[in-house]
Structures are given as structure tokens and as C-alpha cells.
A and B are shown apart, each in its own frame.
Chain A
Amino acid sequence: MAEYLLLFRGGDAETARQSPEKWQAHMQKWTQWMGDLKAQGKLIGAQPLVTTGKVISGTKKVVTDGPYMEGKEMVGGYLACKADSYEEAVAIANNCPILEHDGIVEVREINELKM
């Protein structure tokens, strides 16, 4: 079994415009989705991120505000999970409620760094 990181992009502006009731129903879907993963023992962790941040780059460690991207490209959250294959990880990502709001899920396998 391998570990995967699902990166969520976009989709948030849409939900924010909705009424509290719709927002609640939407979050209920996240709870259902993650609850199922947890029940199968596959959930490792997940958190949403705020939209502002800092970027540190290079040997000079220059700190700038950032990452200043279009809302659609900005990473808005992550979920780490276990899955047997990329296929399964994609199947998991397929049920992510962010897709209902035209969001993007990027599926990446955690790399085991060999010595």
C-alpha cells in the first residue's frame, strides 16, 4: 500500500457564494467522503489552507508574499491517504466534493527516497 497526497485547487469561490444551508450540505459531503475513507483505514489527514501565504526561495532565502496565483490554480487544501495503486487513489479523488464546484484535484504519490 502506498501513500498519496491529494492537492485541491480552486472550487472555493463557488462554495463561498452559496447560502449557509448549501454550504452546510456541501461540508456534509466532505464529512461523508472523509468518513468513508477513515472507516476503510485509508485517511491519514486533511486540512484546508488560507489563501494568503509566504514564499521563501533560493539560497538567499528571499521571503516574498505569495504565491499570488489565480484562484483556480492556488492550492486550497490537501488530503493524505493510503491506496493500493494510482488507480485507486484516482478513484478516491473522483469522489472529492470539490469537483462539484469545478475544482481540481491533483493526485501525487508519496515518494520513498532510497538511500
Chain B
Amino acid sequence: MNSKCNLQNSSNNINTLTDHLFRHESGKMVSVLTKIFGTENLETAEDVVQQTFIDSMQVWKLKGIPDNPSAWLFRVAKNKAIDHIRRHKHAVQYDFNDNERALLTSEYTLTTTMEHLWKEEAIQDDQLRMMFACCHPDISAENQITLVLKTLCGFSTSEIAKAFLTSEDTVSKRLYRTREFFRLQKIKLEIPSDQDLIKRTGSVLNSIYLLFNEGYNSTNSEDLIRRDLIDEAILLCKLLTENKNTQLPEAFALMALMCFHSSRIASRLTPEGEIILLSRQDRSKWNHNLIAEANEYMNKAAFGEKISSYHIEAAIAFEHCIADNFDTTNWERILELYDWLCKSSHSEIAEINRAVVILKLQGASAAMTALHNLKDKNKVEDYYLYQSLLGEIYCEKNNKAKAKTHFEKAMRLTKSIKEKKLLSEKIKTLFY
């Protein structure tokens, strides 16, 4: 009885451990294996990783967990790659013409070359190269993130589907399309050269930022904050800032922005997971270590001539973080920054956020004028924050009926249960 119980425990331990390791190590393994087999054979790389983890579950249950589980996984994946090459080196889908890969086809050089390809110090660069491949400009933004989550962050199809409230079928289709793109285009794994770097890094940063936003303010899930997505976004961005070829000012700025936002996470929700508005947040709960870290990234972002939208957004987040309370926040400065952001980014979301600040500073009519000046109103009509802001504005104007209409519209537009709840509270207070 007792031993059975122990066995049960250890098998649970192994499952938890492999889940954890899969999240943290599979991305590295896929990156190295893709370097070996080529992006056109991404599926082979993923299969090898999958098989390695299946083996680990079976072997560890029998023999116990090894001292260094990560090293065990890497060694097994390496051996599987060797086996795969021995059996399939003449298959047409593999191109072993490339200098280093050519040495994988001779028994004289196979194992030595394989050892070299798995060298630890090369793995970070492999992940970076993989990231640039996943964010290839010919791949749509949503397919980019889907692939990043799948290959680099070790998310399962169902986890991705849950994170973006879409069906597993849709996620599978997206992944299939991107793999096909890789298969046909044979995208090289590389860190882009100088002239392409800024543009290509732009799409990588965009993908990371979308990932972070989905984690910080989940539009699609039951939980408002998804720590796992936030952590992955920060980890990926860190890779960029740690490599001397990719540490552009905008990468540091995005890091700063994400750290400023993350520092406020603990105060954003009640213990029951309900949203607490910024004005009511307990600022003593803000993480001052993270704010300090963000400031450091801000300093590092302050070189070069270009000011990216991440710089401005980080500066806005900075203003919030240094304010003692909601009312003493330097709203004038924040409005200036939003003016700047709107001019440089042409983003409707920035315009709406700017209108929120105008509402706070100059009142309902000025905010209404700002929204009226939006160029593409059709585009924002279906955006819940736009409708909810209109609700706030009418509320301020004491037009309860119109406020209610817009809050209700907003409720229909957001998929987030917590946001819906917050909006329904607002409607209730209208008629107190």
C-alpha cells in the first residue's frame, strides 16, 4: 500500500517535472534540431523532441529522475538526431550540402559534429535565429505568435487555442500553413545582417509585445493575467537584449515597458481575481525591484537616434510607476507622451488611451472631441475599450441611458469574463 502510494507520488513528480522541462527546454531543443535538419523539416525536429520527452517519462518512472534532467534530455535528443540521420541521410527532404551539415553524413565526423552543434554556448544564438525565422515578414502576425508559442515556448496546440480563445483546429491549421511555408521556402536560420536587422527585429518585437499583452490583459481567457505568457515574452526579449548583434535600443525599451507593467501585476486583481482599477490599486504592492530593473533597461534604451513607440510607452508606464497615487500622477506629462505616441504610431488604441487621459484632465467634452477626430471610426466601433470609454464619457455627462448603451456594447465585444463583470458593475452604479 505504502509503496504504491510512493510510486503514485513519484509518477506525479515526474509528470510535473517533465511539464516544467518541456516549457523550458523544448524550445532550445527544437532550435538546435532545426539547425540540424533545416527549417523545411521543422516537423522532424518537433518529432525528435516529442519522442525524447516520451522516453524520459518512461525511463524516469523505472529508473528514477537523473541528477541533471536537462542534460539527460539533451543527450537523448542528440542521440535520436544521430539515429535519424543514419537512417534518413539519403532522403530527398534533407539537404546536407551545407558545410557543417555535410559532415553529419560521414561516420568519421557525425558524432563530433553533432557534439559541436549542441554546444551550450551556441544554443542562445540558435533560439534567436529560430525566433527570427518564426517572425519572418512573409508570415502573418497571428501565425508568427502561434509558431513562437509552439516551437520556442513549448505550448501545446490546446494551450495556444486556450490562450487565444480559438479552436485547436484553427491553431493546427495555422501551424500547418507556417510549416508548409518553411518547407517550400527553406528559410535560412540566421540573425539578419545590419541593413535588415532593424526591420526584422521590428517584427520579432511586435510578436513579443502581442504575446506580452495577451498575458498582461488577456482578452480571451477566464484569467485576466496569464503569468506564463508574460514570462515567455520577457524571456524571449531578454535573448535579444543579451546578444550583441540584436541588442537594439527598441529591444531594451520593450524590456523596460514589460518590466514596468509587470511590476504592477500584484495590485491589479483582488484575491478572487476581480479587476482593480488603477485609481484604487494598492501601490505598496508594486514590485520595486522590477521597477528598478525597468529603469535600468530604460537607460540602456536611451542610445541611438530613433525613438520607438516602445520608448514612449515605457515612458508613460514610468510616469505611472513613480506617482505616489492616482491623483498626483503627472497626467500633463502623460498626455504629452500620448500626443507623441499618436503622432508616431498611428495606432487607434493609442488614440483611445489618449482620450482616456483627456477625459481625466480636460473633461468629457474634450475627450469626446478627441474621439470624434479619430480617422477610422469604423475600425474602433467594435473595440470594447472604445465603447467602454464612450460609456465613461456619457456617465461624466450624466447621460445614464447612453452610458448604459455603450457599456453594454462593450460587454458584448469583450470575451474576457472579468472585463464583462467590471462593465456590469459600472452599469449597476449608474443607477444607484
Contact = CB atoms under 8 A, between A and B. Distances in A.
Contacts of B106: 34, 45-47
A109 to B, nearest CB: 21
Interface stretch (B97-105, B230-238, B246-254, B272-280): B97-105
B109 A35 contact: yes
A34 B105 contact: no
A27 interface: yes
Contact of B102 (A27, A38, A48): A38
Contact of B112 (A31, A45, A47, A48): A31
B118 to A, nearest CB: 14
Contact of A34 (B103, B111, B116): B103
A77 interface: yes
A39 B108 CA distance: 16
A38 B105 contact: no
Of A31, A34, A35, the most chain B CB neighbours within 10 A belong to A31
Interface string A67-91: 0000000000101000000000000
Main secondary structure of the interface of A (DSSP, over half): helix
A47 B108 contact: yes
A43 interface: yes
B113 interface: yes
Contacts of A31: 103, 108-109, 112-113, 116
A24 to B, nearest CB: 7
B105 A45 contact: yes
Given A28-B112, A31-B113, A48 B107 contact: yes
Q: Chain B at the A interface: mostly helix, strand, loop or mixed?
A: helix
A34 B107 contact: no
A41 to B, nearest CB: 9
A38 B108 CA distance: 13
Contacts of A77: 108
Contacts of B107: 47-48
B103 A27 contact: no
B84 to A, nearest CB: 18
A46 B113 CA distance: 14
A34 B108 contact: yes
A30 B99 contact: no
A27 B106 CA distance: 12
A27 B108 contact: yes
A28 B113 CA distance: 8
B112 A43 contact: no
Contact of B111 (A27, A39, A45, A47): A27
Interface in B44-67: none
Contact of A24 (B102, B103, B109, B112): B112
A21 to B, nearest CB: 13
Interface in B95-131: 99-100, 102-103, 105-109, 111-113, 116
Contacts of A46: 106, 108-109
Nearest to A34: B109
B112 A38 contact: no
B341 to A, nearest CB: 50
9 contacts: A30-B112, A31-B103, A31-B108, A31-B109, A34-B108, A35-B100, A38-B99, A38-B102, A45-B106
Given A27-B109, A34-B103, A35-B99, 9 more contacts: A27-B111, A31-B103, A31-B108, A31-B112, A35-B100, A38-B99, A38-B103, A45-B105, A79-B108
